[in-house]
Structure 1
């Protein structure tokens, strides 16, 4: 049988008393007050509610008594079971017209609360499942394989991961007919096993979130491997590329894997901070890389003079101690850009 909680009852009382000019009490299935406009009465036994529960009908009390206030008490039924009682304190003739209105509103609010609880339980189970399958130590047991089918995932088949990170909040149903899982308010993972439709899925995401960063893993036998690839590729995209919004792990595999090795490198982290507050130098270095170190093309894309570009490249050397014209030191600068992204 459904059980009302104090939090639910008090929330309902607070909402109803904004519109009803009388004190409202909500009692549980034993008659104990669990929600009230009079906080001192919470936790006490309401004798009018006990009568309403026993008699399974409305109980009207016309006079104040030692343990009971005058008013009307209506049993709350769900699926043929009494789950509580709602009471309105005041003169019976005045409170009676509000009785059924309040009772109906309370039942509606309880129904909404039950739906929300079911939805929260469903979401919690989904997140627990996701936490399992992104753990590299998780074995794909028969039970887990069967559970995955409820999310339209075939764990026995290879899959790709689309990782989406957006400046605005992302809805979990961003694409149709695909298994998607929230990583945070602004990030989402999508499991794709129909790779021939990847362009369609990517466009669906882009239509809703034009400014989102999207990274796409290789095909993998496990979802955990795909997630690692997609997340490392996303860091490369955000760190190295300028004005690019989509990246495939297959296009940056070498640098993405190397960047993972440097993630916990304190020296790399320290160097990364040297550039983090200078957007102009970061942009210059990103465009320089995207133009394959072609100075003329870089200056053209940045719409600056070649001398200005040389000035900025020299300033990068001065700030970081690494020369972007030296290929070995340029590699370190690339890791500086990537390690800025957490």
Structure 2
């Protein structure tokens, strides 16, 4: 049997008493007050409600008595059970229309809460399934393969992952025709098993969320491997590139795999701390990389003199001990940029 809570009942009472100048009480299925305009009465037994529950019908009290005040008490029924009572104090003839309004409000709230609980349960089951799917230790059993079909995923087929991060909240049903899973309010994972849809899908995302970052995995036999690739590519995108919004794992596979192999690299962590407070130097390094180490193009893009660019690169060398113009040192600096992204 559905049970009304104190928070639900008090919310209704507070809202309705803003418009109705009479005291309102809401009682649970035992007749105990769980919401009231008179907070001191919460937790006490309401005798008019107890009578309404026993009789299974509206109880009108026409004059004040020792234990009850005049007013009207209407039982709230749900699925054939009385789950509570709503009462309003005052002259019965005046209270009748208010009582029916209150009763309808409670029933409406119950319907909304049940719908919300069902939606939350559905979302929780979906997220539990996806957490299992992106776990590299998960085996594709017959049961899991069958469950995946309910979300539009054929685990016997290869798939690609599109991973999206945005500064604004992303709608989970953004891609209604494709299986998508919310990683957070600002990130979404889309499972794609038809490669010819990737380009159009990427454009759709970019149109709806112009500031979003998009990373795309390679085709993989498991969703977990695709998710790993997409997240590594996202770190490369946000760490290394400046003013670029999309990347595929195949574009950065080498550096992404270095990152995967050296995930506990303390040297890169130390380099991060040496530059983390200097956004200008980080931006300079990102643009220098984006321009394929071309000093002239980099200086133009940064709108600075080439000598200023060289000064900044030398400063990076001085602070980190790594020379951006030296290929091996540059690889370490790239790893440092990526390590900044969590």
Question: Normalising TM by the smaller chain, what interval?
Answer: over 0.9
Deviation at 1:55, TM superposition (A): 2.1
Question: What is residue 245 of structure 1 aligned with on the other side?
Answer: 245
1:104 partner SS: helix
Question: What is residue 101 of structure 1 aligned with on the other side?
Answer: 101
Deviation at 1:15, TM superposition (A): 2.0
Question: What is residue 59 of structure 1 aligned with on the other side?
Answer: 59
1:27 partner SS: strand
Deviation at 1:81, TM superposition (A): 3.0
Deviation at 1:229, TM superposition (A): 0.7
Map 1:328-339 → 2, pairs under 5 A: 328-339=328-339
Contact 1:262 1:268 in 2 (8 A): no
Question: What is residue 34 of structure 2 aligned with on the other side?
Answer: 34
Deviation at 1:53, TM superposition (A): 2.0
- Higher mean C-alpha displacement, 270-279 vs 332-341: 270-279
Deviation at 1:41, TM superposition (A): 2.3
Distance of 1:337 and 1:108 partners within structure 2: 53
Deviation at 1:140, TM superposition (A): 2.0
Question: What is residue 149 of structure 1 aligned with on the other side?
Answer: 149
Question: What is residue 217 of structure 1 aligned with on the other side?
Answer: 217
2:111 partner SS: helix
Map 1:196-211 → 2, pairs under 5 A: 196-211=196-211
The answer for unaligned runs of 5 or more in structure 1 is none
C-alpha root-mean-square deviation of aligned residues, in Å?
1.7
1:188 partner SS: strand
Question: What is residue 192 of structure 2 aligned with on the other side?
Answer: 192
1:173 partner SS: helix
2:218 partner SS: coil
| Shift in alpha-carbon separation, 1:282–1:125, aligned structure 2, 3 A | same
Please report the TM-score for the alignment, with normalisation by the length of structure 2.
0.95
Distance of 1:155 and 1:40 partners within structure 2: 59
Contact 1:273 1:340 in 2 (8 A): no
1:55-92 per-position Cα deviation (integer Å, ceiling 9, x unaligned): 22211112333432321101112233322211112232
Distance of 1:245 and 1:152 partners within structure 2: 28
Distance of 1:156 and 1:28 partners within structure 2: 51
1:211-244 per-position Cα deviation (integer Å, ceiling 9, x unaligned): 1110001111211111111111000001111111
Distance of 1:220 and 1:66 partners within structure 2: 76
| Shift in alpha-carbon separation, 1:256–1:72, aligned structure 2, 3 A | same
Question: What is residue 273 of structure 2 aligned with on the other side?
Answer: 273
Instruction: State the aligned residue count.
Output: 342
Contact 1:174 1:204 in 2 (8 A): no
Distance of 1:68 and 1:134 partners within structure 2: 60
Question: What is residue 285 of structure 2 aligned with on the other side?
Answer: 285
1:308 partner SS: helix
Question: What is residue 82 of structure 1 aligned with on the other side?
Answer: 82
The answer for unaligned runs of 5 or more in structure 2 is none
1:280 partner SS: helix
Distance of 1:266 and 1:285 partners within structure 2: 21
